Amino acid sequence: MMKLQAHHVIRKTLYPWGVFELGNGVTLCHECHGRIHAQFNGRPNLSLPLGAEQGDDQDEWAFLFGLLRDDAVRQGLDEDEFYYLGDHMLKFFVHCQGYEDLHGMVMRGEMSRIMFAHEIWRPMPQAWYTNLASEIIKLNL
């Protein structure tokens, strides 16, 4: 018999208020859950960028949020009802990644919350591109 465990996509030590969000949880087998937490499972240093301690993998988050959305679509479920992410969690995502325009789409009901989570963690953060452009401009002056 396979042992199943609950896994928080965004860990409780990084964002404690996400602990009860339906869209912030997936079910994993014991072995897969152990693999996810193998590199780092401690309290993050919030002064460091996400992922600096190898415990917050944005690609993993995008993948897991994408799986939840795919599951809702496959089963014909309402994404926001069954995989709900609260306003406070979405604001945390915007604080980390930007993408205010996509957040506006969610607030207007044009995009589901779980789709928003998948989309903003999939690409590099907007701040990364802004910083890169600033560095290029400095080098060319």
Q: State the residue range of the domain holding 125.
A: 4-39+57-140
89: number of Cβ within 10 Å: 19
Residue 49 within a domain: no
Helix (H, G, I), strand (E, B) or coil at 62: helix
Residue 47 within a domain: no
pLDDT of residue 39 exceeding 90, the answer is no
Residue recorded with tokens 């002056």: 141
Residue 51 within a domain: no
Residue 131 within a domain: yes
What domain count does the chain have?
1
Residue 46 within a domain: no
For residue range 84-98, list pLDDT tens digits in order: 999 999 999 998 888
For residue range 53-102, list pLDDT tens digits in order: 766 788 889 999 999 999 999 999 999 999 999 999 999 999 888 899 99
Mean pLDDT of 112-122: 93
Q: How many helices (H) and strands (E) does the chain have?
A: 7, 2
Residue 45 within a domain: no
Residue 103 within a domain: yes
